[in-house]
Chain A
Amino acid sequence: MIKFENVTATYKKNTGVFNISFEVKSGNMVFIMGPTGAGKSTILRTIYKDMLVDSGSIILDNENITDINSNIHTASIRRKTGMIFQDFKLLTNYTVFENIALPLRIEGYSKSKIIDLVNESLDKVGLPHRQLSYPLQLSGGEQQRVCIARALVNKPKIILADEPTGNLDPNISDEILDLLEICTDSGATVLMSTHNFPLIKPRNKKFIELSQGRMV
């Protein structure tokens, strides 16, 4: 589902990731582990085309996306991918419902379909009673659940989670991981970055360890 072959992607100061190769099979959940600045987010950014690679190739759902850099193609890749962020990236002047509905609006779903899918997604993350609230009225854990609901709403095959538990306390972090694990039951592939090894250790999942941009 996600395949990196000798990928190098660098920033101006010659930092980034170097010669990265790994493969995540369909329906699996894989962690990218490492300290701050190790290159975890860079790997995710190369997948959702927020950054171009210098060399190597990236295969996503049987499509080579390495050289894609047009806005239209980038948008289309992002629409196929569910994304979860450490800082949630929720729109504060939109309700929970509107935030979750956004990917569906972008795809042009009908109103009735949007209502069904958003409600389904809210049920999955356990927040059906919060649909009319605004993000700033929610706790950090609830905001991250909304972010996950938004990532799941159009049933993507791939979910990328960039430090989704970074701002949350350990109990809530565990709940978030449970939610992401449930996603793999329906066939989604999850790639999650984290620096919190104790959090992922009990999960017994494959992880990729990074240090200074290289695989350890």
Chain B
Amino acid sequence: MIFLNKFMYLFNEGTKSIYRAILPSVVSSMTIAVSLVILSVSYIFYSNFFYYTSDFKNEYKIDVFFNNKLNLNESLNIFNEILLIDGVQEGVFIDKETASQIFKKEFNEDILNIIGENPLPMGAMFGVSDNYKNYDKISEITKKIKYLKDVDDAIFPEQAIVKFDRIIRNLLSFSFIIGVFIVVLSYFFVSNTILLVIHSKTNEINTMKLLGASDIFIKIPYIINGLLLGLIGSIVSCFVLFLIYKVSLYVILPYYELNNFNYQLISFLNIIVGCLLGVVGSSKALSSFVKSN
């Protein structure tokens, strides 16, 4: 009962301190809200970018040319051997006839008419599994294939993949840096705002200590305050995201369909991150205050 009475009082104090310092509270909540909106929009943009680039990644294929002296069975054996390599997901076998058809399609000429026989080797085209769709891994597989006996050559669209991977990597690094920057910025905003509030209440805190309040009794209202600021900020961010989503339906949807936009999940994550930012920010402020006193 004593615990409940104390908790109710402390919760009340935590709530009251929002309107006792209304301006810093609004600034903190809005900082959290803006940070969460930017983070969420970045995440949605990022995941959609990946969704739309996955089509391009399906073109990550390895072309293999077998030794021209091999007969069909020997070529099929090597084809099956390659399929067993880690990361190779699927393959299309290309016999001599299919090779000449591809040649005809590519160059609009029949090779039989040009040199009187089909000199094209048998070969295959291999797709790689999703985890291997990057430059390092695909070139590793290609090397393994090249070293196989009776394989003349194995190639993949090296330049395109290098460029594409570089774009993805830069985007990933940029998003990560921006994300960390935003989180750190709002963390400092919250912690400094609460620190300002705490400093303005130094006399009050000292009086409470003299009256026998324990450290935890003094700290809890500020932590509840931080939690509530985070909660308010995250609710505002959910509302703004909802508006952005509704607007985007008219602006973006005619051209692109938004994927990976699970509003419930993003709202839930926003509330968790917002509350966490508030609590961690206020704890940091409290520990800074304790150190300086």
Contacts and interface: CB of A to CB of B under 8 A. Distances in A.
Given A105-B6, A108-B6, A71 B215 contact: yes
B1 A110 contact: yes
A31 interface: no
Interface residues on A, range: 20 to 34
B212 A93 contact: no
A106 B5 contact: no
A155 interface: no
A106 B3 contact: no
Interface in B208-226: 208-215, 217
A36 interface: no
Contacts of A76: 212
A90 B3 CA distance: 25
A91 B204 contact: yes
B2 to A, nearest CB: 3
A111 B3 CA distance: 13
B213 A75 contact: yes
Nearest to B2: A108
A75 B5 contact: no
Nearest to A102: B211
B212 A105 contact: no
A97 interface: no
Interface class of chain B by DSSP: helix
Interface string A74-110: 0111111101010001110100000000110111111
B20 interface: yes
B20 A78 contact: no
B53 interface: no
A78 B210 contact: yes
Given A91-B207, A93-B20, A108-B6, A75 B212 contact: yes
Contacts of A216: none
B239 interface: no
B9 interface: yes
A83 B211 contact: yes
B24 to A, nearest CB: 15
Contacts of A102: 208, 211
A105 B221 CA distance: 13
A47 to B, nearest CB: 12
A83 B211 CA distance: 7
B214 A89 contact: no
A93 B211 CA distance: 17
B216 to A, nearest CB: 9
A83 B208 CA distance: 11
Interface of A: 48, 50, 71-72, 75-81, 83, 85, 89-91, 93, 102-103, 105-111, 150
16 contacts: A50-B210, A71-B214, A72-B214, A75-B212, A75-B214, A77-B212, A78-B209, A79-B212, A81-B212, A89-B206, A93-B20, A102-B211, A106-B208, A108-B6, A111-B5, A150-B211
Interface of B: 1-3, 5-6, 9, 20, 203-204, 206-215, 217
Given A78-B209, A85-B210, 16 more contacts: A72-B214, A76-B212, A78-B211, A79-B211, A79-B212, A81-B212, A89-B206, A89-B207, A90-B207, A93-B204, A103-B211, A105-B5, A106-B208, A106-B211, A106-B212, A111-B5
